[in-house]
Amino acid sequence: MRALLFNPWITDFAAFDHWARPLNLLRLATLLRQQGWSVDFYDCLDRRSPDLEGLPAPPRHRFNPYGGGHYYREIIPHPPGLDGVRLRYKRYGVPPRRVEQRLRTFPQPDVIIVASVMTYWYPGVFEAIAMLRRLFPRVPIVLGGIYATLCRAHAEAHSGADAVVTGRHWPDIVNRIFAILGDTSQPCPGDQTTWIEPAYDLLRQDFCFPLLTSTGCPCHCTYCATHALWPRFVTYEPEAVLDSIGRVVRDYHATDLVFYDDALLVKKETHFLPLMEALIRQGYAVRFHTPNALHVRQIDATVAGLLKRAGFTTLRLGLEVVQRDWQKSTGDKAYIEEYLEAMRHLRNAGFTREIGTYLLFGLPGQTIEAVREGCRAVAEQGSEIYLALYSPIPGTPLYERPGCDFRFDPRVDPLFQNNSLAPFQSHAFTDAQYRELRQYARNLNENVRKRPFLEAAR
């Protein structure tokens, strides 16, 4: 049997590759191969794809030379409902005509599995399904991933897929795909605790590889969908992760490894610390990056020292809000004192410009001044500010809470869950105020970059 795994385009007002690689499709590929299947793979978001040859190259991004960057993009019409928004709407990735040309050279699969990520990127997913249907009219198309899980009814009603599979429990997903194909004779064993090494050979032209050493998160932040995707927090054996890292370094010459974990430092005594100690012993010449925020509460002198010695080059910290009452009511993730302590340990370990701190902006009821206060606190510590616009995500407590102050109701259409709409969406602040705040954070960041790091408050 043969499966075609397909990672579709992003459709949005803005998108940037922060080391996004289709990790879950790669894990699915491994399971299917273990069951004796052949796997073909196409990633519309592969910025090194030969199918981009001859197209104007997007500018190199000066802040992310380690495997992130701009996607090729084309401006497309706004989808219905977003017509009035004054931002240009784009399709990011290899243009459809080139994808189609390439897919015509692929053998006929027995099933096509399409991934999905952000709920409001569904127009790109639907376009992909329509194209695949045209090219392979008799092949069943299965849609999975985050959008499919969080907006199942919408996906079933509108995507055009033959089946929608939900959840992130991969052996179970494989079994449901087998059931759709009418063959349950060889069920795929395992559950969320089963270690699955991604099929890294499918990214062989890359130098940057994703790592997942745990799934889920024990915290319960009211704005986060992790629990809707992974009901449990599970860590994988450090030895298995270490073997995997050894293979990508040796076989694929990886230089940059990116942790996709939501809670990399939780249960650190049995997970992160032994993994780092073993990695340091191996002495691989690689850089590590954590685009998903690290839990600042877990960063002590030992963790900070190991992060430095292991070669972490990009560190993102999750602070989100600085006001104690806000932090308490949104999930108790990190308090400002814990952040200051974590920053102190990181500075003592020798970190300088590698640190960026996420602050949430646009939470229902949040004021501009509250966000400014957070920006000042972060900049004083010598960290750059990463403003993350709040996105109302189905399955999160905040989304379910009645009376959110949105002009576009995110329940009406997943398109309205787009955080780029926040300035147009919130009654709490205007577009002009939003732009002013962005500029405020930019100015603080410039000062942080100019200032000698050691002068930052200790």
Residue located via tokens 């954070």: 441
Least gap, CB of 394 to ligand SF4 (angstroms): 15
Per-residue exposure over 212-233, b if at least 16 CB sit within 10 Å of its own CB, e if not: bbbbbbebebebbbbbbbbeeb
Task: Indicate if the alpha-carbon torsion angle 125, 100, 33, 213 is positive or negative.
Answer: negative
- d(Cα 268, Cα 231) in Å, to the nearest integer? 20
Report the residue number, 17 or 320, with the smaller CB distance to ligand SF4: 320
Q: How far is the CB of 320 from ligand SF4 (least distance, A)?
A: 8
Of 165, 160, 74, nearest to 115 by C-alpha is: 165
CB of 291 to ligand SF4, least distance (A): 12
Instruction: Tell me how far, at minimum, the Cβ of 12 lies from ligand SF4, in Å.
Output: 21
Minimum CB–partner distance for residue 388 and ligand SF4 (Å): 10
**Which residue in 457, 441, 443 sits closest to 343, CA to CA?**
457
CB of 396 to ligand SF4, least distance (A): 9
Residue with Cβ nearer ligand SF4 (51 or 320):
320
Q: Is 315 helix (H, G, I), strand (E, B) or coil?
A: strand
Closer Cβ to ligand SF4, 311 or 331, answer by number:
331
Q: Is 136 exposed, middle or buried (0-12, 13-18, 19+ CB in 10 A)?
A: middle
Q: At closest approach, how far in Å is the CB of 220 from ligand SF4?
A: 6
39 beta partners: 3
Minimum CB distance to ligand SF4 smaller for 202 or for 229: 229
Q: Name which of 65 and 218 has its Cβ closer to ligand SF4.
A: 218
Q: Please report, as ranges, the residues that interact with ligand SF4 according to CB under 6 A.
A: 217, 219-221, 224, 226, 262-263, 318, 331, 333
52 in Cβ contact with 94 (< 8 Å): yes
How far from 282 is each of 240, 243, 245, 247, 250, CA to CA, in Å?
14, 11, 10, 12, 12
Rounded Cα distance, 84 and 359, in Å? 28
The residue assigned the tokens 């780029």 is 420
Decide if 394 contacts 119 (C-beta within 8 A).
yes
Nearer to ligand SF4, 233 or 284 (CB): 233
Cβ nearer to ligand SF4, comparing 165 with 263: 263
DSSP annotation string for 54-67: TSPPPPPPTT--SS
171/318 with CB nearer ligand SF4: 318
* Residue 292: its H or E element: strand 287-294
Q: What type of residue sits at position 434?
A: Y
Query: Residue 317 CB, nearest distance to ligand SF4 (Å)?
Result: 11
Closest approach, Cβ 352 to ligand SF4, in A, equals: 25
Task: Kindly tell me which of 31 and 217 has the beta carbon lying closer to ligand SF4.
Answer: 217
Best CA proximity match to 100, nearest among 126, 132, 142, 52: 132
| DSSP H or E run through 389 | strand 384-389
